[in-house]
Amino acid sequence: MSKIDVVLGLNYGDEGKGKVSTFLSQNADIALRCTGGNNAGHTVEFNGSKIIFHLIPSGILNDKTEGVIGNGVVIDPRVLFEEISFLKDQGVDLSKLHISTRAHLIFPYHIAEDKLEEFLKGDDKVGTTARGIGPCYMDKANRIGLRVIDMYNPNFEKKLRRNIANKNKVFKLFGFDTLDEDAIVKDYLNYRDMLKPYVTDTVLYLHNALDENKNIICEGAQATGLDMDLGDYPMVTSSNPTIGGIQTGSGLSHKDLTNVYGVCKAYASRVGEGPFITEQNNEIGDTIRELGHEYGATTKRPRRCGWMDLVALKYAVRVNGITGLVVNHLDTIGKLGKSKLCVGYKLDDKVYTEYSDDVIGRESEVEPIYEEFTTNFNIEKETNYDNLPDAAKEYIKAIENHLGVPVKFIGTGPSNEDMIIR
Ligand code: IMP
């Protein structure tokens, strides 16, 4: 029987999905990305070098693991080929990379539109990564997007020129720089040839792999709080980083999924705008940021930091059907002395222990209800659960009790090996 492991972020991204994905991919025949684009980023240490992955599933680093970029991903070819070239230099065999015919392409006008959209939103800006992700998905929904397969259609150049011309009219209207139509067309005709060796009917490829009893690891991007349907709309990304996105972004069926791992940190962080009920916009948040090195892998922005929110996490566990938890940075909270877990929300004298839409738009009025824990332990690089001090075990048990799901992996340091497996 084949096995599919899915790794999903449960908060606002940057939970450390890369570490557990890298571990699980060691036994995987295929590593798969299904949603998002180069707004994602995770750092993996390989042969003494640090590699930041934005698009290619990191599991491709294993000699026997094939990499698949599924149909739900949006691809900026410039970034893709930078990544390919870097990996080739590291000696990675890129003939193992398969890119979906149906994945949508990001064009320079999407990046310009991302900036324009943010500018027009003014105070309501989302704080996007400015990589053109949202506008690319907008064009997909608007049915003017261009997919990988469309590049090989005789109409491609005509459609691309029409898109650029129309977008330029809008840029002009708002006083933004227009784009050089001929230069973009030239670049993308070049990318068309460069992409050719990787282009695959990935739905068929994945189903054939299942028939051959192969193991697949799905490396999720972003997280539940950023899901455009189930997250903090409108402060979200433009795709579905929840479990449904894994299926629509790959063509794999729910029946085929085995384990769905949900990744969180022993505290919480967020980049960009949007509600963050347990945020510590104070010295505690600053300390967590420094101890946990909370600066964006993609944009280098300092991350907003706060306490772990079990109300939001319970919601994320439910909507994704999480079967096991990954709690990263347990070592980091061990340096804080005391830490808090948010176990409820108080709003209008009512206590909520389940996430409720009553709080939508009123997040800043919510008073988090905390349980306090002593977290004064040094567990850096620990790999054995039995060696953890009682205080660390109590923290993990409290998480399990509230969420009703076992904690299967615990991060105890920055390196991939710094992990407890239960
Ligand atoms: P976009 O995905 O670039 O459109 O940005 C939308 C929101 O999602 C912004 O708040 C970003 O900071 C956030 N975001 C997108 N990708 C990631 C990620 O990989 N980690 C954390 N936040 C992300």
Q: Which two tokens stand for residue 388?
A: 């953890």
Of 294, 361, 405, give the one whose Cα is nearest residue 13: 294
pLDDT at residue 1 in the model: 84
Between CA 262 and CA 208 the distance in angstroms is: 27
pLDDT computed for residue 94 by the predictor: 97
CATH for 104-194 is 1.10.300.10
Regarding the beta carbon of 74 and ligand 1, being less than 6 Å apart is answered no
Among 404, 412, 354, 357, CA closest to 383: 412
What residue type is 345 in one-letter code?
Y
| 25, 4 Cβ separation under 8 angstroms | no
Query: Going along 224-293, which residue ranges are E strands?
Result: 259-265, 267-270
Contact 24, 61 (CB under 8 A): no
Relative orientation angle of helices 156-173 and 181-195, to the nearest 10 degrees: 140
- The H or E element containing residue 334 is helix 330-334
**Burial of 202 from C-beta contacts in 10 A (0-12 / 13-18 / 19+):** buried
Ligand 1: nearest atom to the Cα of 226: 8
Is the CB–ligand 1 distance for residue 272 below 6 Å? yes
**Superfamily covering domain 4-99+208-260:** Adenylosuccinate Synthetase, subunit A, domain 1 (3.40.440.10)
Tens-place pLDDT, residues 13-65: 999 998 899 999 999 999 999 999 999 987 887 777 788 899 999 999 999 99
Using CA positions, which residue lies closest to atom 12 of ligand 1?
272
Q: What is the pLDDT of residue 48?
A: 77
389 Cβ below 6 A of ligand 1: no
Place of tokens 């479990």: 243
Average pLDDT over residues 129-149: 98
pLDDT digits (tens, 9 = 90+) for 182-241: 999 999 999 999 999 999 999 999 999 999 999 999 999 999 999 999 999 999 999 999
pLDDT at 390: 98
Q: Ligand 1: which of 21, 74, 226 to mutate, most ligand atoms within 8 Å of CB? A: 226
User: How many Å lie between the centroid of ligand 1 and the Cα of residue 39?
Assistant: 6
Q: What is the pLDDT of residues 380-400, one digit of tens each?
A: 999 999 999 999 999 999 999
CA dist 256 and 279 (Å) reads: 37
Distance, in Å, from the CA atom of 353 to the CA atom of 344, rounded to the nearest integer, reads: 4
Cβ neighbours of residue 30 closer than 8 Å, sequence gap 6 or more = 59, 65, 66, 67, 68, 206, 209, 214, 215, 216, 217
For residue 234, cis peptide bond before it (omega within 30 degrees of 0): yes
124 is catalytic: no
Task: Categorize the per-residue pLDDT at 410 as very low, low, confident or very high, splitting at 50, 70 and 90.
Answer: very high
Strand (E) or helix (H) holding 97: strand 97-100
Structure tokens at 145: 């997007």
The predicted pLDDT at position 43 comes to 80
Contact yes or no for 74/136 (Cβ under 8 A): yes
* pLDDT recorded at residue 265: 98
Six-digit token string for 113: 């539109």
Region 152-162 average pLDDT? 98
Class of domain 263-421: alpha beta
Q: Which of 5, 14, 29, 139 is catalytic?
A: 14
DSSP assignments along 32-79, one per residue: EE-SB-TT--EEEEETTEEEEESSS-GGGGSTT-EEEE-TTBEE-HHH
Which residue among the candidates 5, 29, 42, 114 is catalytic per the annotation?
A: 42
Strand 66-69 relative to strand 30-33: parallel, antiparallel, unpaired?
Answer: parallel
Over residues 73-85, the mean pLDDT reads 97
Q: What is the mean pLDDT of residues 353-369?
A: 96
Query: pLDDT band for position 297 (50/70/90)?
Result: confident
Ligand 1 pocket member 271 (CB < 6 A): yes
Burial class (CB in 10 A: 0-12, 13-18, 19+), 184: middle
344 lines ligand 1 (CB under 6 A): no
pLDDT number for residue 51: 85
Instruction: Note if 357 is an active site residue.
Output: no
User: DSSP assignment, residue 133?
Assistant: H
Q: For ligand 1, is residue 241 a contact (CB within 6 Å)?
A: no
- Say which DSSP state 270 is in: E
Q: Which sequence spans correspond to the domains of the chain?
A: 4-99+208-260, 104-194, 263-421
| Alpha carbons 274 and 276: distance in angstroms, whole number | 7
